[in-house]
Amino acid sequence: MNEPSPSTSTHIPEMVIATVAGVAFGVKTGHYLTGIFIGIVLGVALSVLGTVVRARSRR
């Protein structure tokens, strides 16, 4: 159906980094809900940062 264009960037690396960081925090401290929250916030922040960097490099 609708295939993404080649210029569309995926956020897979950012999500993997955020997931690993959130899980590591949750397992290490035992605060799993906090680990989930950290993973979500870090994933959003890295995705936004990655989008800004990619947009600037295209100019």
**pTM score, two decimals?**
0.77
Tell me the pLDDT of the chain (59 aa) as tens digits: 566 555 566 888 999 999 999 999 999 999 999 999 999 999 999 999 999 998 888 87
Write the CA distances from 24 to 10, 19, 20, 40, 43, integer angstroms: 23, 8, 6, 13, 14
Report whether 7 contacts 27 (CB < 8 A): no
